[in-house]
Structure 1
Amino acid sequence: MPILLLSSLFPLVFVMALGWLSGKLSYMKRDDATVLATVVIRFALPLSLFLGALHTDPAKIQNLSFMAVLVIGLMGSYLLTLCIARFVFRHDIKTSAIQSLICAFPDMAYFGAPVLAVLIGPEGFLGVLIGNLITSVLMIPLTIVLIRMGDNNNGSAEQGSLRGMILQNLLKAVRNPIVWIPILGVVMSLAGIKLPELLSSSVEMMGKTAGGISLFALGLLFFGESPTLNVHTFTNISLKNVIQPAIMAAAGLAFGLSHTLMQQVVIIGATPSAIAAGMFAVRSDTYVESASSSILLGTAVGIVTEGVIIFMLS
């Protein structure tokens, strides 16, 4: 188990350390993290999610019980955090959306996938792929809508009806590459459409950069700052590393998932916050310090929680 966790975590720490070192040696400025975040959100991550959706077996995408559990676990923790952010911390809607994303978006691709691959085998990637589809189709579009609503509330003199505002922002969100590109991948997968090899390899080249650029940008963002453990980071880490896997486990029992599928959903729930969630905070210039601290400390805590859950499930 220590070797498994080390092999999963060392690449994350190494690339973040490179980002921090680039700031320390003045190779890059801390503000450059915003540019890198834009590359991730607009190009690399959408193409990475597109390929994941495109290469998923359509029959597996249609496993409704498994998908329902992941929807409940992912979106349930998102909505729970949204309520806590709005009514406990009294955040505005934009900040609440970022905090919800931090607490509900697991780092499935770069933390969860290696663990599942060793523990379960190739079948373990099913939860990662479907989980990414759910975040692409539901969680990220909802976050973008809420962020845009927050921007409108702060900067627009005239407001239409609530329904019109939501519809307007939903249409803007759908046009965002990180929303429509992964959805296109789902549609193509269900339709049995394959990309030509030349185009597929080109898309894959860009998609593979998502994890590295995200980690590097986060490391650069950490330069000059020390992660702080306060009520915000403690709440975020508790919601992400403890409450979300508990919701996954309860939903899995309710839907009668098999032991293998139960392992997948609980381990995904216990996976620390995705680096991409931090990129949304950077891109929006909102909740940045709490987001980065929650991701860094949550990843460290995730070693313990993931190990305990693997031991319990085994």
Structure 2
Amino acid sequence: MPTLLLSSLFPLVFVMVLGWLSGKLGYMKRDDATVLATVVIRFALPLHLFIGALHTDPTKIQNLSFMAVLVIGLMGSYLLTLCISHWFFRHDIKTSAIQSLVCAFPDMAYFGAPVLAVLIGPEGFLGVLVGNLITSVLMIPLTIVLIRMGDKNSDLAEQGSLGKMILNNLFKALRNPIVWIPVLGVVMSLAGIKLPELLSSSVEMMGKTAGGISLFALGLLFFGERPKLNIHTFTNVGLKNLIQPAIMAVAGLAFGLSHTLMQQVVIIGATPSAIAAGMFAVRSDTYVESASSSILAGTALGIVTEGIIIYMMS
């Protein structure tokens, strides 16, 4: 068991520390993390998910129970946080949307994928693939709509109807490479289409860089950041790192998932908040300090909580 924990978590910590040191020693600027993140989100991760989907047994992709558990875990924690933010913290709808994204959007690309790769192998990317589709098609468009609804400076009459706004944001999400490229892999897997070996190895070479580059960028992003610990930080970290995996586990038991699939959903649920949630906060100039502190503290604690969950699940 100690060997499993070390092999799962030590590479994450090692690469993140390298990223942090590159900022500390002046080898790279903190802003360079944005370029690295673009490489991951636009190229490496979509191709990594594409290959993962292409090599996944089609019967596993068609597992509706697995999809249902991820929808319940991801969107359930999102809606729970939305209620807590609005009714307990008395936030407006725009701030509540950002807080909900922070508490429900797992860092599957930077944090979850490397852990699942070591613990489960290639099949572990099925959870990242399906989870990414759910966040891209449901969670992110919903957040954008709520932000625009809460923006007092926006004129909904000029933007058109609410339904049109939702459709426009959904269409934009579907055009994102991180959505349509993995979906293409799913379609090809279901159709039994295989890539030529020369092309497959080339795509796989690029895809394998996703984990290392993303963790390095994450460490670089955290250079110079000092989280502020308050009720918002503790609440957000608790909801993301503890409540969401608990929801996943309960839903997984209710749907009778296999042990391997249960590992995937719980580990994804325990994965810290995605950096993208903080970027939404910055772009909308809302909840920035609390979002940043929650993501940083949650990532540091996530190393511990992931280790505990890996021990329990194994």
TM-score, normalization by structure 1: 0.81
Rounded Cα–Cα distance in structure 1 between residues aligned with 2:51 and 2:94 = 29
For residues 31 and 258 of structure 1, do their structure 2 counterparts lie closer, same or farther at Cα, with a shift above 3 Å needed?
closer
For residues 71 and 174 of structure 1, do their structure 2 counterparts lie closer, same or farther at Cα, with a shift above 3 Å needed?
same
Q: Which residue of 2 aligns with 1:265?
A: 265
Q: Which residue of 2 aligns with 1:302?
A: 302
Residue 142 (structure 1) aligned with residue 138 (structure 2): yes
Rounded Cα–Cα distance in structure 2 between residues aligned with 1:198 and 1:278 = 39
- Matches for 1:153-164 after TM superposition, within 5 Å: 153=151, 158-164=158-164
For residues 54 and 90 of structure 1, do their structure 2 counterparts lie closer, same or farther at Cα, with a shift above 3 Å needed?
farther
Residue 11 (structure 1) aligned with residue 11 (structure 2): yes
Residue 46 (structure 1) aligned with residue 42 (structure 2): no
Q: Is the 8 A contact 2:23 2:220 kept in 1?
A: yes
Q: Is the 8 A contact 1:78 1:101 kept in 2?
A: yes
Q: Which amino acid aligns with 2:128?
A: N
Q: Is the 8 A contact 2:102 2:277 kept in 1?
A: yes
Q: Residues 21-63 of structure 1: CA distance to partner in whole angstroms, max 9, x if unpaired?
A: 2222222222222222222222222222222222211011122
Note the residue ranges of structure 2 that are not aligned, 5 or more in a row.
none
For residues 265 and 190 of structure 1, do their structure 2 counterparts lie closer, same or farther at Cα, with a shift above 3 Å needed?
same
Q: Which residue of 2 aligns with 1:176?
A: 176
- Matches for 1:261-300 after TM superposition, within 5 Å: 261-274=261-274, 289-300=289-300
Q: Which amino acid aligns with 2:129?
A: L
TM-fit CA distance, 1:238: 0.9
Q: Residues 91-139 of structure 1: CA distance to partner in whole angstroms, max 9, x if unpaired?
A: 66666555444433445566556766776x55xx54x333223222221
Q: Which amino acid aligns with 1:300?
A: A
Rounded Cα–Cα distance in structure 2 between residues aligned with 1:97 and 1:115 = 28
Q: Is the 8 A contact 1:86 1:92 kept in 2?
A: yes
Q: Is the 8 A contact 2:44 2:207 kept in 1?
A: yes
For residues 298 and 64 of structure 1, do their structure 2 counterparts lie closer, same or farther at Cα, with a shift above 3 Å needed?
same
Q: Residues 256-306 of structure 1: CA distance to partner in whole angstroms, max 9, x if unpaired?
A: 334554444334433334566567667888756544543443233234434
Q: Which amino acid aligns with 1:136?
A: N
Q: Is the 8 A contact 1:33 1:282 kept in 2?
A: no
Q: Which residue of 1 aligns with 2:27?
A: 27
Q: Which amino acid aligns with 2:138?
A: L
Most deviating of 76-85 and 170-179: 76-85
Q: Which amino acid aligns with 1:191?
A: A
Q: Is the 8 A contact 1:214 1:276 kept in 2?
A: no
Residue 190 (structure 1) aligned with residue 190 (structure 2): yes
| Same amino acid, percent of matched pairs | 82
For residues 193 and 291 of structure 1, do their structure 2 counterparts lie closer, same or farther at Cα, with a shift above 3 Å needed?
farther
TM-fit CA distance, 1:72: 1.5
